[in-house]
Amino acid sequence: MKRVLIVGLIFIVLGGVLMFFFGKGQQTKYENVTATQAEKLLAGGHIVVIDVREPFEFAEGHIPGAMLIPLGV
């Protein structure tokens, strides 16, 4: 019984280590852009701006064409 627990623990630890090292490559990468780059991308229609604020804040002012996703969603 003790041997089964030790072997099980080893598999759990190895699985965690493998997930840690191999899972990193699957993360989505984000890039920062300057205001000038963002303006060019918006003009070309290549991006969607997602505005995550409250509706009243969005109504006070937002980037034209931005999509609102309220904080409570």
More confident residue, 67 or 10: 67
> What pLDDT is attached to residue 56?
95
Report how far apart, in Å, the C-alpha atoms of 26 and of each of 16, 47, 72 are: 16, 22, 28
> What pLDDT is attached to residue 41?
87
Please check whether residue 73 lies inside any domain of the structure.
Answer: no
Q: What is the pLDDT of residues 6-60, one digit of tens each?
A: 877 887 888 777 777 776 665 677 889 898 998 888 888 878 899 999 999 999 9
Give the total number of structural domains in the chain. 1
> What pLDDT is attached to residue 55?
94
> What pLDDT is attached to residue 53?
95
> What pLDDT is attached to residue 27?
63
Q: Phi, psi at residue 68, to the nearest 5°?
A: -85, 130
Q: Residues 68, 62: contact at Cβ < 8 Å?
A: yes
List the domain range (segments joined by +) for residue 37: 2-68
Please check whether residue 64 lies inside any domain of the structure.
Answer: yes
Please check whether residue 33 lies inside any domain of the structure.
Answer: yes
